Amino acid sequence: MVTFLARRALLALLVTLTVLTISFALTRLSGDLAVSIAGPQATAQDVEIIRKAYGLDRPLLAQFFDWVGSAASGDLGRSYLYHEPAAKLIRERLPVTLTLGLTGLCIALLTAIPLGILAAMREGSLLDRAIMLIAVIGQAMPSFWLGLLLIIWVGLKLQLLPISGVDTWDGYILPGIVLAFSAIPALMRLTRSGMVDALASDYIRTARAKGLSRASIVLKHALRNAAMPVVAVAAVQLGFMLSGSIVIESVFSLHGVGYLGWESISKNDFPVVQAVVLFLAIVYICLTLLADLLNAVLDPRLRAA
């Protein structure tokens, strides 16, 4: 188990360093940062002053190692737009994005797993086809379009839920449903395929021969093995929800980390852009590592892999 953890931790570190390098390179490849910060009306002298003030006149390699060293110590830079530390801005916006992502994941799991089990137990039936049709629709439907539909019908016409802001807990329901709808198809298909394989296994036939109840066979024995790929994909989907919620946050006027990243990109606030990319990448890496650990607990064979 220790070797398994060490390998996964080393891989996570390498991925983090790769993200650091790519995020730094992309901000520099976007153009002259000093010109972007100074604005279109700035003179050449103003641009030069800004370049020296922010250390942009130094060699790129020196800038990169300064950025890595600062990030390692927790200093993610200072926003040019808000004149505050980027880490502070992320910390202030994180509760909205985290609550939204967890809400979406809970809705997705509570919907996808039961539907996947039902489809597997009725394999080839009309119910199975109907559930798979839901998965196809969910995979094809754009998130922003579904969000607008929910705002118009549920929020404005029926007035059941708020359409913007998170002043109350129910403000997360509509955007959470939109996030969940994009994750449900993958989770549902994995649950169904895993349950189909598990229900056809020898140990399930043995459990039936012992006279175990259907609920015990499905939920205690079959679902345990079918859940392993679902756990891994659920962690990945949560990472997608946290890092890809920028569209949903914009549609529902939720000022989370994703919206902060969009603001920073549109206004050339590159220290915050780098900080947001790094933060979301680390969250995604940690979630993937957690999924690996959970799978290792569920299946001891993976510890020796």
Q: Is the pTM of this model over 0.85?
A: no
286: confidence class by pLDDT, cuts 50, 70, 90: confident
CATH of 94-269 among 2.40.50.140, 1.10.3720.10, 3.10.129.10, 2.30.40.10: 1.10.3720.10
SS3 85: strand
What is the model's pLDDT at position 298?
63
- Res. 281: pLDDT tops 80: yes
Domain regions of the chain by residue span: 94-269
Tens digit of each residue's pLDDT (9 = 90 or more) over 103-117: 999 999 999 888 888
Of 145-159, 257-271, 287-301, the least confident: 287-301
Report d(CA 78, CA 245) in Å as an integer: 23
Report d(CA 289, CA 284) in Å as an integer: 9
What is the model's pLDDT at position 3?
73
**Could you identify the residue written with the tokens 């931790």?**
9
**Cβ burial 231-262 (10 Å sphere, 16+ → b, else e):** bbbbbbbbbbbbbbbbbbbbbbebbbbbbbbb
- Res. 130: pLDDT tops 70: yes
Tens digit of each residue's pLDDT (9 = 90 or more) over 232-265: 788 778 887 877 677 788 788 788 888 888 888 8
What is the model's pLDDT at position 167?
72
What is the model's pLDDT at position 294?
72
What is the model's pLDDT at position 217?
76
Summarize the confidence of residues 31-51 as an average pLDDT.
Answer: 73
Tens digit of each residue's pLDDT (9 = 90 or more) over 164-222: 767 777 888 888 888 888 888 888 888 888 888 887 887 777 877 877 777 777 777 77
What distance lies between CA 284 and its chain's CA centroid?
6
